[in-house]
């Protein structure tokens, strides 16, 4: 009599039920949809629903459903053509009041979602999406760093009571400091060298490698070529990190963001169909600057043209008039290490900010000496715009700077404080961008490509067809050649496929076109394991071993070989995943999961089925194999 513990039957039953449950969401197709998000000053309400219904009716589009949520409205549509029509109609009807973007909405029932069941993540080649190549403006990064050195130089000389007449930048990117008569040039040079290399700033890192020379009453601060190259490299790396953080904040699954050459970045976003929305996401540069308010009547200063030399004119939000703010930035977005949405004492939206140590100390020093004075926050946003001129796209950037209402410094604070005066959506978006970090340099889109959902659907259909054909051919062979044990193998193969899909869905692994190749390979490896078992049983029968003993011996002797061969393949798959990129990773992850599941189904599941069928037949004389 064959032995198979009951706990293993229980384990198989649990695995079968769990696999079926977590593979089930993949049977529910996604709905093409349009997502509507309110811009500042507008809301998701019944009035918006009326405008949406009117626009869709005028365009001749019948939606499957319109769902309103707290921060957005989702319009589900019956197909891609209807999605395109609805998108055009809604953008024309809603204008700049709302942000309209293409999307794919899940149709998985809530009860599946409540247990964490969700469909497999599909890669760019299957789901469709956008592919961008961006050019990093390294000159802008260099300009930003040098402006930081210029400001630090001026502040240091003022703080140390060193009189100067000019601090200027030369065309060769060196900085020339012209001291007033009677100033000690050598002493001033030591002060600058110690401050710029040790104190740092938002734009000057410690150990910058600057060179210093004196000529008469001038100090020349030079940037060697190695320093310029380092600035360019740091700009690329910071932009890569910032882009990854931004994409992670909005939950794009399995993006590809990598460096290409010396000054380019490649971005691939699976599932994102709207290139305009994707550009807004990765090109967003909203940030904050904290500045001191310069005393005086701003309106009179602007009207007379007599603006204090240390001041700069900003417009208050909602056209509330001008305000004079100090040119010196106390802290900026690239000095923030964390930001999260909170509420102020009145229950209104706010952003809780944490600065780095250098900026925190600077803020502490300023507030300690200026309690009771006014400070303002400047909200800065670079908005990319695309206009058609003579039938050609012309890209430009509009910089929007708004000063929030000045507030009085009530007490001393340093690296942790709160910024108010923002709307809820604005506070949430700003907190995301601040957490993700600022771009070290602007980036221009030089190439864009959309992989449409129809092409992705064709890839899915072809990949599915390849897997199904390989599965059907394997089943036909096993049923003819191994008869009853061929049927057992077929059940094990089917469960193997379901388990692979379930595991990839559960852990959020991405299925790509090479992943289908890995899935087909998994079928082949699972077939190989079952062939070893079946042939071993046949050998035992030829040697005159009784049928039940042949089954037991066949599984026991074949198991070692199966484990050894699959362990070798597993190591190869892990190496592919660790050292490969792009398509290789997609192939490797499917292969690794398939190896683990095929060992379980071949060694445990098929033996359990064989024991269930033949185990209680005491006088068994032959096997259908």
In the chain, where the domains are located:
6-25+453-614, 31-105, 139-226, 284-422+433-441
CA–CA separation, 197 vs 227, rounded Å?
13
- The CATH T-level fold of domain 284-422+433-441 is Gyrase A; domain 2 (3.30.1360)
Residue 502 confidence (pLDDT):
93
Residue 116: partners with Cβ closer than 8 Å, 6 or more residues away: 22, 506
According to the CATH classification, is domain 139-226 in 1.10.260?
Answer: no
pTM: 0.62
How is residue 337 written in tokens?
A: 């290490």
CA–CA separation, 37 vs 58, rounded Å?
21
CB 11 within 8 A of CB 495: no
Query: What count of other Cβ atoms lies within 10 Å of the Cβ of residue 258?
Result: 15
Residue 206 confidence (pLDDT):
41
Grouped pLDDT means (10 residues each) for the chain, 625 residues: 84 93 90 80 84 90 86 86 87 80 82 87 77 83 79 80 85 86 78 62 46 82 79 81 71 74 84 67 70 87 85 83 88 77 81 83 88 85 65 69 82 81 72 67 76 69 81 84 88 90 85 81 83 89 87 88 88 86 78 90 90 80 78
Backbone dihedral angles phi then psi of residue 116, each to the nearest 5 degrees: 80, 15
Q: What is the largest CA-CA distance in the chain?
A: 115
CB 174 within 8 A of CB 153: no
Residue 571: partners with Cβ closer than 8 Å, 6 or more residues away: none
Q: Which residue, 138, 137, 135, 133, is CA-closest to 229?
A: 138
Residue 174 confidence (pLDDT):
85
Query: What count of other Cβ atoms lies within 10 Å of the Cβ of residue 90?
Result: 22
Return the CATH class of domain 6-25+453-614: mainly alpha
According to the CATH classification, is domain 31-105 in 3.30.70.260?
Answer: yes
Query: Which of helix, strand or coil describes residue 285?
Result: coil
CB 130 within 8 A of CB 452: no
Q: Which residue, 464, 513, 515, is CA-closest to 124?
A: 513
CA–CA separation, 551 vs 530, rounded Å?
13
């Amino acid at each position: 009599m064959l032995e198979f513990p009951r706990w293993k039957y229980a384990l198989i039953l649990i695995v079968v039920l769990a696999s079926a449950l977590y593979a089930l969401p993949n049977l529910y197709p996604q709905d093409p949809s349009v997502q509507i998000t309110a811009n500042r000053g507008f809301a998701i309400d019944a009035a918006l629903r009326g405008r949406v219904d009117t626009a869709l009716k005028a365009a001749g589009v019948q939606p499957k459903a319109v769902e309103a949520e707290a921060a957005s409205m989702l319009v589900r549509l019956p197909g891609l053509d209807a999605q395109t029509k609805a998108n055009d109609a809604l953008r024309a009807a809603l204008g700049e009041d709302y942000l309209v973007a293409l999307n794919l909405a899940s149709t998985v029932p809530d009860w599946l979602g409540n247990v964490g069941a969700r469909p497999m993540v599909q890669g760019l080649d299957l789901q469709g999406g956008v592919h961008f190549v961006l050019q990093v403006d390294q000159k802008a990064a260099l300009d930003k760093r040098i402006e930081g050195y210029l400001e630090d130089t001026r502040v240091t000389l003022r703080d140390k009571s060193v009189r100067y007449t000019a601090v200027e930048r030369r065309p060769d990117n060196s900085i020339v400091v012209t001291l007033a008569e009677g100033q000690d040039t050598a002493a001033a040079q030591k002060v600058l060298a110690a401050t710029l290399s040790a104190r740092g700033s938002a734009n000057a890192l410690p150990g910058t490698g600057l060179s210093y020379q004196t000529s008469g009453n001038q100090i020349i601060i030079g940037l060697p070529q190695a320093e310029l190259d380092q600035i360019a490299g740091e700009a690329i790396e910071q932009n890569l990190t910032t882009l990854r953080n931004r994409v992670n904040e909005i939950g794009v699954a399995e993006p590809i963001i990598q460096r290409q050459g010396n000054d380019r970045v490649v971005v691939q976003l699976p599932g994102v169909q709207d290139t305009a929305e994707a550009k807004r996401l990765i090109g967003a540069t909203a940030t904050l600057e904290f500045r001191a308010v310069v005393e005086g009547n701003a309106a009179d200063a602007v009207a007379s043209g007599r603006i204090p030399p240390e001041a700069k004119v900003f417009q208050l939000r909602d056209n509330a008039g001008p305000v004079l703010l100090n040119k010196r930035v106390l802290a900026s977005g690239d000095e923030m290490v964390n930001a999260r949405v909170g509420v102020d004492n009145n229950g209104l939206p706010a952003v809780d900010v944490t600065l780095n140590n250098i900026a925190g100390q600077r803020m502490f020093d300023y507030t300690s000496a200026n309690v009771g004075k006014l400070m303002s926050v400047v909200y800065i946003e670079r908005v990319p715009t695309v206009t058609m001129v003579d039938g050609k796209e012309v890209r430009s950037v509009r910089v929007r700077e708004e000063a929030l209402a000045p507030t009085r410094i009530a007490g001393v604070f340093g690296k942790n404080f709160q910024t108010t005066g923002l709307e809820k959506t604005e506070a949430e978006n700003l907190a995301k961008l601040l957490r993700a970090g600022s771009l070290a340099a602007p980036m221009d889109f030089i190439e864009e490509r959309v992989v449409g959902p129809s092409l992705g659907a064709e890839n899915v259909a072809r990949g599915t067809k390849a897997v199904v054909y390989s599965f059907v051919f394997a089943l036909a062979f096993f049923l003819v050649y191994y008869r009853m044990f061929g049927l057992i193998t077929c059940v094990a193969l089917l469960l193997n496929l379901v388990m692979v899909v379930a595991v990839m869905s559960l852990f959020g692994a991405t299925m790509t076109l090479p992943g289908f190749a890995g899935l087909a390979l998994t079928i082949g490896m699972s077939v190989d394991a079952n062939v070893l078992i079946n042939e071993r049983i046949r050998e035992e029968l030829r040697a005159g071993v009784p049928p039940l003993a042949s089954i037991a011996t066949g599984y026991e002797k074949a198991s070692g070989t199966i484990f050894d061969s699959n362990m070798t393949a597993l190591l190869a798959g892990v190496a592919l995943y660790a050292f490969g990129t792009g398509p290789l990773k997609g192939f490797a992850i499917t292969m690794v999961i398939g190896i683990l599941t095929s060992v379980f189904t071949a060694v445990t599941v098929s033996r359990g089925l064989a024991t269930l069928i033949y185990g209680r037949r005491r006088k068994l004389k032959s096997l259908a194999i």
